[in-house]
């Protein structure tokens, strides 16, 4: 008999398991269909001992001090500021767009912060309301930069045109007039010093937490009993697709080892041209700080098949999700949380915050 069945051993599931077990003395069973904890943040060492992220780069960044302090109980951090270059027609440019991007792309020699501000102000398009990602980018950088850096890349990555995606998708990327080349603006920019998997294992150390890997929750022995369910998987799957399938973006990851110390100048290069089949390439040692004579690069290819990694944020998909949300609201003993269960394109810190907020909501009902 368990107090809680938690479906999924990703961030949301593990945070809630830890809170319920340590703070409420609840007995928790986590069921995970994969063979490992950590969800898409899972990392491991390959046969050469190089630490890499199995499902693409996961870089923890947040302005939420409480979320950062909470996770700091379970890991030491390596402070890391992510740098990205965009490959446009064979030339590498800093991404997000900053003054150096404009200098290289516009072939300027003298170009101040004020020059960058004036250029962007001149090319920005005005919209009374931003309906989608295309309008969001056009309002920030104009048509020329949009076509070079965003249009093809967005199409390759999401298999959708930018004008079909919510404005927040491309709006997640800042635009700067100075030479700040960091990908994120957040106060805390880190990765776990010993890896994400080590952090997840620490989260699940409590004696009240049991873990069943490589297990579908629907195949559990009927003798197993539980009072409540916390579900972090795809919400449409939970309801047997009664309203139809919600679209998700998936990715094929191709990990390649090279017999040299480094290949790329930075951790990530985005490939913006349609002629290049992959969307981005990540080199892990830039992120982990690991010293090794070899290096591993991961090539990403977008696909509609395979694991559901990213909800596709369009107005049509949101409308479909609301049908499932109404069904979920009718269930008194089942909680839905996380990127797939809420069909939201959350960052990692947002998932942790959602899990902590759900925990507070749960215990408030028990008091």
| pLDDT tens readout for residues 338-366 | 999 999 999 999 999 999 999 999 998 87
- Residue 221's Cβ-count burial label (10 Å; 0-12, 13-18, 19+) is exposed
Q: Is the Cβ–Cβ distance between 198 and 75 less than 8 Å?
A: yes
Taking the mean position of all CA atoms in its chain, how far away is CA 259?
30
Which tens digit of pLDDT belongs to each residue from 170-184?
888 899 999 999 999
Average pLDDT value over all residues in the chain: 96
Q: Could you report how far apart the first and last alpha carbons of the chain are, in Å?
A: 21
Tell me the pLDDT tens digit for each residue of 280-299.
999 999 999 999 999 999 99
- For β-strands 268-271 and 280-283, DSSP reports them as antiparallel
Task: Choose among 245, 275, 237, 252: nearest CA to 88.
Answer: 275
Tokens of 231: 């579900």
Confidence of residue 334 (pLDDT cuts 50, 70, 90): very high
pLDDT of residue 119: 96
CA–CA distance from 114 to each of 93, 145, 185, 263, 353 (Å)?
20, 18, 20, 35, 38
d(CA 35, CA 31): 10
pLDDT tens for 146-197 read 999 999 999 999 999 999 999 989 888 899 999 999 999 999 999 999 999 9
pTM of this structure:
0.95
How do the domains of the chain map onto residue ranges?
2-37+204-247+311-366, 84-171
Is residue 150 within 8 Å of 273, Cβ to Cβ?
no
Nearest C-alpha neighbor of 105 from the set 170, 171, 149, 156: 149
Read off the pLDDT of each residue in 10-26 and give the average, rounded to a whole number. 98
- 210 Cβ contact list (under 8 Å, min separation 6): 2, 27, 28, 29, 30
Q: What is the pLDDT, as a whole number, of residue 109?
A: 86
Question: Of the candidates 45, 27, 47, 36, which has an alpha carbon nearest to the alpha carbon of residue 8?
Answer: 36
Q: In whole angstroms, what separates CA 350 from the centre of its chain? A: 10
The rounded distance, in Å, linking the Cα atoms of 342 and 324 is: 9
> Which CATH superfamily, name and number, covers 2-37+204-247+311-366?
NAD(P)-binding Rossmann-like Domain (3.40.50.720)
Which tens digit of pLDDT belongs to each residue from 67-124?
999 999 999 999 999 999 999 999 999 999 999 999 999 999 889 999 999 999 999 9
């Amino acid at each position: 008999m368990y107090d809680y069945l938690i479906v999924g051993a990703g961030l949301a599931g593990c945070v809630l398991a830890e809170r319920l077990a340590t703070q409420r003395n609840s007995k928790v069973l986590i069921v995970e269909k994969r063979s490992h904890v950590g969800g898409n943040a899972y990392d491991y060492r390959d046969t050469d001992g190089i630490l890499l992220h199995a499902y693409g780069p996961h870089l923890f960044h947040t302005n939420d001090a409480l979320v950062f302090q909470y996770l700091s109980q379970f890991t030491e951090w390596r402070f890391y500021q992510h740098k990205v270059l965009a490959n446009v027609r064979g030339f590498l440019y800093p991404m997000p767009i900053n003054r150096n991007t404009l200098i290289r792309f516009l072939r300027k020699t003298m170009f101040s912060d004020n020059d960058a501000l004036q250029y962007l102000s001149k090319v920005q398009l005005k919209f009374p309301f931003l309906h989608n990602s295309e309008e969001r980018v056009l309002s920030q950088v104009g048509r020329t930069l949009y076509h070079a850096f965003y249009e093809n890349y967005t199409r390759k990555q999401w298999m959708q045109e930018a004008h079909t995606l919510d404005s927040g998708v491309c709006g997640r990327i800042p635009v700067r007039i100075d030479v700040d080349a960091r990908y994120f603006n957040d106060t805390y920019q880190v990765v776990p010093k010993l890896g994400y998997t080590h952090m997840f294992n620490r989260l699940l150390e409590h004696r009240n937490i049991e873990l069943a890997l490589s297990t579908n929750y629907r195949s559990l022995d009927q003798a197993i009993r539980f009072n409540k369910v916390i579900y972090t998987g795809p919400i449409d799957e939970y309801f047997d697709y009664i309203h139809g399938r919600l679209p998700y973006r998936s990715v094929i990851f191709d990990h390649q080892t090279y017999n040299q110390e480094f290949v790329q100048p930075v951790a990530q290069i985005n490939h913006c041209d349609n002629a290049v089949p992959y969307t981005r390439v990540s080199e892990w040692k830039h992120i982990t700080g690991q010293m090794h004579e070899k290096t591993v690069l991961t090539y990403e290819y977008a696909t509609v098949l395979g694991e559901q990694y990213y909800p596709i944020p369009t107005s049509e998909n949101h409308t479909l999700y609301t049908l499932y949300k109404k069904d979920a609201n009718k269930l008194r003993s089942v909680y839905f949380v996380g990127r797939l269960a809420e069909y939201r394109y959350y960052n990692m810190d947002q998932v942790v915050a959602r899990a902590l907020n759900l925990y507070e909501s749960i215990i408030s009902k028990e008091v």
